[in-house]
Chains A and B, each alone.
Chain A
Amino acid sequence: MKMLYIFYLVVVIVSCGAKEGFSGNPEYKEQVTAIQEKIFHRNHEIGFHLDYIPDDDFYDVFTVGLSYTFKFNDYLAWEVARGVFAFNVEKDLKNDLEDEFEVTPTQYTEPEYMIHSHVILRPLYGKDAVWNRGVINHETFLFFGGGLVNYEKHYSYGSSGSENALSISFGVGIKYFLNDYICLNFEIRDIINFKDERTENNILFGAGLGFRFNLAPRVTDTTSELETLDHYLRDEDNE
């Protein structure tokens, strides 16, 4: 619940708190922006992710995954798919229960893999001076989506089974642009999994690398305006 509040707070701050771009003189109605063209904008990103879920009851969950994201514009993107496989390290809880209290859980689950898709809002963009020796650009993003989590179900009284649970995922992240093509991503996510028995809430800390690229040259205003001008001056309909 706390995560929901934080998420809501971030959205409110981002959408209401930002001052209008540079020079908002009301007499001039031109659209104003803070940055003319973000040089690090790319339409496609393939991401490699390493995540950690610390709050699973029985396992420390480490995941490795891949994702593909399409960026519609400077503000909106769609993480088409993110698939991760879990590598789990058993916590001491189960052994403690068995050794100290002589009880064993009748059933428990172990995450296997997850597939999610997210809508990404990218409202914040900035640059930092690193030790006043260089500049690094970054972007903060919010995301919200859904997907599927697969668990292996362990029973104390029989062989294991499998369970697929629907899942909602949302969070906030930051992306540092190392160069024109590579970026470093950090994120914190809340994953709500609707399992058969109960709904489980997990926090995920993630880090990853993104490879970003365009398949075609970026269309600039100049290009489109020149095309319009050319159309006006040459089109036979206008003669």
Chain B
Amino acid sequence: MNKKIVATLFFFLIALLPGCGHAGQQGHNPTEARETRNSSSKAFTADNDVTAFSKGFKLFEKERYRKACPQLYQYLTANSPDDVDYEWAAFFFGISLEKRGFSHAAVDILANLVMRKPNPKIVSYCLELFEDISRSGPFDKDLVISQVICDQEYEFAEDKISDFVNFHQGVFDRERGFLEWADDHFRKIASGTYYYFKYLYQEALYRIYQDQIDHAIGLLEEILEATVEAERLKDETRRTLARLLYEKGRFEEADRMYRESRESIVERGHDLLEMAWSQYRMKNAEKAMGLLYAFKAPSFRYSFTPEYYILKSFIYKDVCYYQDALDVVYEFKERYAGSLENVYERGDPLDDQDLSLVLLNKKRIGEIWGFLKLLEREKARCTEIQDKPLRKYVENIYALQIQESVDYLREQIQKEYEKIANELLRYEEDANLMEYEIGLDMSQRVYENHYSGDVLEDKKSEDRVVVYPFQGEFWNDELAGYKVALPNKCGCMEKWGEFFK
């Protein structure tokens, strides 16, 4: 009896053990249970994240981007890219950041999203944003143009976006010598659009490179006749056309081109110097000198080049202000003495502040500089982000990009320094030559005046009511209109006496 009871209890206990016997099999399948637990826990997390996503989306819809950002970021950190809403969340997150003024962070997030090839709708929206950003200010060109636009295919893109993509891919291919591919891309750009005229500009540059100047001038003139709204492109075109016209000796047309530019004169430092050259070649010494005065304004500090001194001494020499001409030569030597010494001693480019300023005027370096300023500005705004993890994430994006851009800036400065150092040496040679020419010119004029017996009258400067001394205060509306009184002193011998003592 006892044995029976013990046996019954034993079987009963065994039957109760999980996975053993019929009762166990019927009650809880462990695999199912684990799955259920996992799924329930996942469901719990997903519920939370879905809430974060839907909250973020709702806030995004209501244009409350400040509050949408942390929600969307929370969702993105808690989910993997495989999640069904992940791409949209990243998209809304990027757009929200852009709306809050973090344009680089937005570009960074959206560019990475596009490179993962999400659904075409998202890509189209992102490309539209990139197109907009590329026309409005500094941005990460390497990331957007080289990696996103030119390294992917976007056959589904339509209209403006297709033109945007084809234009950049065409330029990219042409720069690398894939001319047929480039032409294929350019052919796809719709005629009469903004990017068509951008393409024409690239084509004109290519023609200049091939020494087909007249063809290039024709293309540039076609751009200027376009009715499409593209002021910046047209200004760039005017500048290039003006340079070509100058080289062809059509100075008046070149000057007109510079003056037709819609861009503020304050932003066109280098144009001012070129305008001065045009005026000088048109024999308008007073106007040319006026433009050189304007060129000393603080806003042109990055456009300043040693060429300024050469032109100024030319002008003074032509109206026989020999002492002034020599002073300008000495001024050049004094200002760049440190730079020249640094060049001769093959010193560190970074020790040379004067040339550093000139380097900032170089197109590529200027672009990086502008981009760095934008990064610093936007990074400073990170303090406005209340959510700590989000703030850290955005700050990190900026810190990394600043680091990368600074490295690139350093590299470019080293590269450009060699060129600018050579230019400076050439200017030094020009200055020495100018010094010699001034001396020679003086001797020749003394000789001519002495033996000709004619008494030369001072050439009167253009009649004016009153001449004001320049105060040194630069009013932007006056910059292009300065004129310096420079009556010709070539017939005035007493001025030269001091040179022959």
Q: Is the CB of A25 within 8 A of B262?
A: yes
Asked whether, in the complex, the Cβ of B477 is within 8 Å of the Cβ of A232, the reply is: no
Known A23-B266, A29-B137, A30-B264; judge A132-B465 contact (CB<8 A).
Answer: yes
Q: Flag whether B126 is at the interface (Cβ < 8 A).
A: no
User: Is B265 interfacial (CB-CB < 8 Å)?
Assistant: yes
Partner of A232, one of B136, B297, B406, B468: B406
Among listed A36-44, A91-99, A113-121, interface-contacting one? A36-44
> Complex formed: what's the CA distance from A229 to B361 in Å?
13
Contacts of A222 in B (CB 8 A): 298, 301, 357
Nearest CB of B to A120, in Å: 21
Does A22 interact with chain B (Cβ within 8 Å)?
yes
The answer, yes or no, to whether A234 is at the interface (CB within 8 Å) is: yes
Cβ of B301 to closest chain A Cβ, rounded Å: 5
Find A39's partner among B376, B468, B473 (CB 8 Å cutoff). Answer: B473
Q: Which residues of B contact A132 (CB under 8 A)?
A: 465-466
B356 on the interface (CB 8 Å rule)? Answer: yes
Give A33-52 as 1s and 0s: 1 = Cβ < 8 Å from B's Cβ atoms: 11111111000000000000
Q: Is the CB of B350 within 8 A of A226?
A: no
Which B residues touch A38, using CB under 8 A?
473
Which residue of the partner chain, among A32, A220, A228, A233, contacts B410 with CB atoms under 8 Å?
A233
Of residues 98 through 157 on chain A, the ones whose CB sits less than 8 Å from some CB of chain B are 129, 132-135, 137
Q: How many residues of A contact B (CB 8 A)?
A: 35
B337 to chain A, nearest CB (A): 18
A221 contacts chain B at the CB level, 8 A cutoff: yes
Main secondary structure of the interface of A (DSSP, over half): loop
Instruction: Please indicate which of the listed interface residues B298, B369, B465, B473 has the most CB atoms of chain A within 10 Å of its own CB.
Output: B473
Q: Given A32-B476, A233-B350, are A221 and B298 also a contact pair (CB < 8 Å)? A: yes
Which chain B positions have C-beta within 8 A of A229?
356, 360, 369
In the complex, the answer to whether B468 meets A135 with C-beta atoms within 8 Å is yes
Q: Which residues of B contact A36 (CB under 8 A)?
A: 266, 297-299, 473-476
CB pair A238 B356 closer than 8 Å: no
User: A25 to B353, Cβ gap below 8 A?
Assistant: no
Least CB separation from A24: chain B residue: B264
Interface string of A224-239 (1 = CB under 8 A from B): 0110111011100010
Q: Which residues of B contact A135 (CB under 8 A)?
A: 468, 471
| Contact flags A181-220 to B (C-beta < 8 A → 1, else 0) | 0000000000000000000000000000000000000001
Q: How many residues of B contact A (CB 8 A)?
A: 38
**CB-defined interface of B247-266 with A at 8 Å, one 1/0 digit per residue?**
00000000000000011111
Please tell me which one of the listed residues A221, A233, A234 contacts residue B409 in the complex, with CB atoms under 8 A apart.
Answer: A233
B458 proximal to A (CB < 8 A) = no
Q: For the complex, what is the distance from the CA of A33 to the CA of B298, rounded to whole Å?
A: 12
From A28, A133, A220, contact of B267 by CB (8 A): A28
- Closest B residue to A22 by beta carbon equals B476
Report Cα–Cα, A134/B476, bound state, in Å: 20
**How many angstroms between the C-alpha atoms of A230 and B264 in the bound complex?**
29
Chain B 397-412 interface residues, beta-carbon cutoff 8 Å to A? 403, 406-407, 409-410
**B495 interfacial by beta-carbon distance below 8 Å:** no
**Residue of B at shortest CB range from A31?**
B266
A226 near B267 with CB under 8 A, answer no
Complex formed: what's the CA distance from A226 to B472 in Å?
Answer: 22
A25 to B229, CA, bound (A): 12
Contact B465 A27 (CB under 8 A): no
A17 at the B interface (CB under 8 A) = no
Give every chain A residue within 8 A of B356 (Cβ-Cβ). 226, 229
B324 within 8 A of A: no
CB contact list, B338-396 vs A, under 8 A: 350, 353, 356-357, 360, 369, 372, 376
A21 in contact (CB, < 8 A): yes
In the assembled complex, which residues on chain B have CB atoms less than 8 Å from the CB atom of A230?
350, 353
Whether A32 lies near B264 (C-beta < 8 A) is yes
The answer, yes or no, to whether B275 is at the interface (CB within 8 Å) is no
Q: Taking A222-B357, A232-B406 as contacts, is the C-beta distance between A35 and B476 under 8 angstroms?
A: yes
Question: Roughly how many angstroms separate A22 CA and B264 CA in the complex, as a whole number?
Answer: 7
Complex CA distance for A153 and B12, rounded to whole angstroms:
114
Query: Does B180 belong to the interface (CB within 8 Å)?
Result: no
Q: Is the CB of B263 within 8 A of A33?
A: no
Contact B357 A226 (CB under 8 A): yes
Q: Which residues of B contact A33 (CB under 8 A)?
A: 266, 476
| A128 CB, min distance to chain B CBs, angstroms | 12
A27, B267: Cα distance in complex, Å:
13
Q: Could you write out 22 A-B pairs with CB less than 8 Å apart? A: A23-B263, A23-B264, A23-B266, A23-B476, A25-B264, A27-B232, A30-B264, A33-B266, A34-B476, A34-B477, A35-B475, A39-B471, A39-B472, A40-B473, A129-B468, A132-B466, A134-B468, A222-B301, A225-B360, A232-B406, A233-B406, A238-B406
- Additional A-B contact list (5), CB under 8 Å, known A27-B232, A36-B473, A232-B372: A23-B264, A25-B262, A25-B263, A25-B264, A36-B474
Q: Which residues of B contact A (CB under 8 A)?
A: 136-137, 231-232, 262-267, 297-299, 301, 350, 353, 356-357, 360, 369, 372, 376, 403, 406-407, 409-410, 413, 465-466, 468, 471-477
A: which residues have CB within 8 A of B? 21-23, 25, 27-30, 32-40, 129, 132-135, 137, 220-222, 225-226, 228-230, 232-234, 238
| Interchain residue pairs A-B with the least CB separation, the first 8 | A23-B264, A22-B476, A39-B473, A36-B474, A238-B406, A22-B477, A233-B350, A36-B298
